[in-house]
């Protein structure tokens, strides 16, 4: 069953049941009140009759006195203690009441009784006659008129219930249409996306604060992100394919050269092997970087600890000097201790130092200090060629290189700073680049101190 049909049926059913329950409750409440009022009224009339009999003259016969108090549609009778009827007075239409079972009551009684499927009030009040005998004054009154009124009420409530079902069913259909329309639009849009492969948004004609609009808005936001991620993925695959294609081409070319002329010209062997080895290393590094960027944060197995940044930076400087025979100066404005993953923070700083080495033939330095009481600052500074202003905002994008030829010469793949950005996000740091073409570059790492992590 479709959602729209479910909403329509369940809503209509719930409202109809509720309407029936309310009308049934109204009927039975009114029914009880009407009959209760009639019993109370008959009781009061019976008491009035008893009082009238007490005040009446002894010369007035009991039958005549009862006839004076006889209900319009009922019966009056006096029953002795031996359950014998002394006097019975009825209206012509209620002669059947004479056959009502005789019973003596030693206390006042007022209740409803059923005679030939018609409700009557029955009231019995103890009395003492002039001779000192105990008896009952019993009054009965036909409630057919009240029953007719209640039957009419039943018919009216039934008709009202049936009429009220029409707007209930219509409103349920409208409600189901309102609720299901955004969902149907979403299904239709998803079907279009599946068929065409194009990312399409749901039309939201007007703004509202309800959950259905928010659902549509959330869907559109999700589509935007999917489209953005799809474009990035497509670009990433194209760039990766391009980057891998170049070393493979070089390896293939030198391999062909070795096959054709390697035996005739031994001097080509060493050159070819060096080129193949260099491109193989470059390809391995590129593959490792691609795999690194594809990792999920939960798989990085981070181990956060307190790190004295001075000691960590000194290790990096010593390693760099041993590997590249290059000196890196250290400037400490204030010693800082941060809370981070040691391996990842070291890798982050190393990326910036390596970039400074590749694109600067001058001095390289690392400065340590604070930006404020909560954050530490690590700066990698060089006086190299710098970065053009229009490229500064793009250098953290994957495969982006300021100078293609220079990057190819230095072996850059355009992934180093993208990796730095990923690492910074994982360990809770912020990275930024300040650079001026021809004057140098400053890479900044801002990270929380131990007391404020």
CA distance 89 to 375: 107
Q: What class is the 3-151 domain?
A: alpha beta
- 132 phi-psi bin (left φ>0, alpha ψ -120 to 50, beta other): left
CA distance 304 to 342: 7
- Predicted confidence pLDDT, tens digits, the chain (453 residues): 677 787 778 888 888 899 999 999 999 999 999 999 999 999 999 999 888 888 765 666 777 778 888 888 899 999 888 888 888 999 888 888 888 999 999 899 999 999 988 999 999 999 887 677 888 999 999 999 999 999 999 999 999 989 988 888 888 888 887 777 777 777 787 787 777 777 777 777 666 667 777 777 788 888 888 887 777 777 667 766 766 776 787 788 888 878 887 777 777 787 778 878 877 876 776 677 666 666 554 456 788 999 999 999 999 898 888 777 888 999 999 999 999 999 889 888 988 888 888 887 778 999 999 998 899 999 999 988 888 877 777 787 766 666 543 443 344 556 778 778 888 888 899 999 998 888 889 999 999 998 766
Note the Cα 67 to chain centre separation in Å. Answer: 77
Q: How many CA atoms lie within 13 A of 386 on its CB side?
A: 11
In the CATH hierarchy, which fold is given to the domain comprising 211-294? Answer: Helix Hairpins (1.10.287)
The pTM of the full predicted model, rounded to 2 decimals, is 0.49
Note the Cα 355 to chain centre separation in Å. Answer: 46
CA distance 37 to 182: 56
Cα end-to-end distance, the chain, whole Å: 53
Domain boundaries, the chain: 3-151, 211-294, 302-452
CA distance 70 to 183: 73
The residues that bridge with 331 in the sheet, in sequence order, are 367
Token pair of 284 as six digits: 């391995």
Architecture category of domain 302-452 in CATH? 2-Layer Sandwich (3.30)
Cβ–Cβ < 8 Å for 330, 314: yes
Cβ–Cβ < 8 Å for 79, 104: yes
């Amino acid at each position: 069953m479709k959602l729209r049909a479910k909403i329509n049926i369940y809503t209509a059913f719930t409202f109809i049941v509720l309407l029936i329950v309310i009308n049934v409750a109204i009927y039975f409440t009114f029914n009880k009140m009407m009959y209760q009022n009639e019993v109370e009224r008959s009781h009061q009339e019976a008491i009035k009759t008893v009082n009238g009999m007490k005040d009446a003259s002894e010369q007035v016969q009991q039958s005549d006195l009862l006839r004076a108090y006889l209900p319009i549609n009922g019966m009056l009778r006096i029953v002795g203690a031996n359950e014998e009827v002394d006097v019975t007075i009825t209206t012509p239409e209620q002669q059947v009441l004479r056959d009502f079972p005789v019973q003596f009551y030693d206390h006042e009684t007022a209740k409803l009784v059923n005679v030939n499927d018609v409700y009557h009030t029955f009231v019995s009040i103890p009395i003492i006659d002039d001779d000192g005998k105990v008896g009952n004054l019993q009054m009965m009154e036909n409630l057919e008129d009240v029953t007719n009124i209640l039957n009419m009420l039943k018919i009216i409530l039934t008709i009202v219930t049936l009429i009220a079902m029409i707007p209930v069913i219509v409103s349920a259909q409208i409600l189901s249409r309102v609720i299901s329309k955004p969902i149907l639009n979403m299904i239709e849009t998803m079907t279009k996306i599946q068929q065409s492969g194009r990312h399409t948004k749901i039309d939201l004609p007007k703004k509202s604060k309800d959950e259905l609009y928010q659902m549509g808005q959330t869907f559109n936001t999700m589509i935007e992100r999917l489209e953005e991620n799809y474009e990035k993925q497509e670009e990433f695959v194209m760039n990766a394919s391009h980057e891998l294609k170049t070393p493979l081409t070089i390896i293939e070319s030198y391999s062909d050269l070795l096959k054709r002329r390697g035996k005739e010209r031994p001097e080509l062997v060493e050159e070819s092997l060096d080129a193949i080895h260099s491109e193989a290393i470059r390809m391995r590094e590129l593959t490792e970087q691609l795999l690194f960027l594809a990792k999920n944060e939960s798989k990085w197995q981070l181990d956060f600890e307190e790190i004295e940044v001075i000691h960590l930076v000194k290790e990096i400087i010593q390693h760099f000097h041993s590997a590249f025979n290059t000196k890196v100066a250290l400037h400490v404005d204030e010693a800082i201790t941060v809370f981070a993953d040691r391996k990842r923070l070291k890798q982050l700083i190393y990326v910036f130092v390596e970039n400074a080495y590749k694109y600067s033939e001058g001095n390289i330095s690392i400065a340590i200090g604070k930006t404020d009481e909560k954050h530490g600052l690590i700066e990698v500074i060089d006086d190299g060629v710098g970065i053009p202003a229009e490229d500064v905002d793009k250098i953290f994008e994957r495969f982006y290189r300021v100078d293609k030829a220079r990057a190819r010469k230095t072996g850059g793949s355009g992934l180093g700073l993208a990796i730095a950005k990923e690492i910074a996000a994982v360990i809770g740091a912020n990275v930024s680049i300040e650079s001026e073409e021809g004057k140098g570059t400053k890479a900044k790492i801002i990270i929380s101190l131990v007391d404020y992590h």
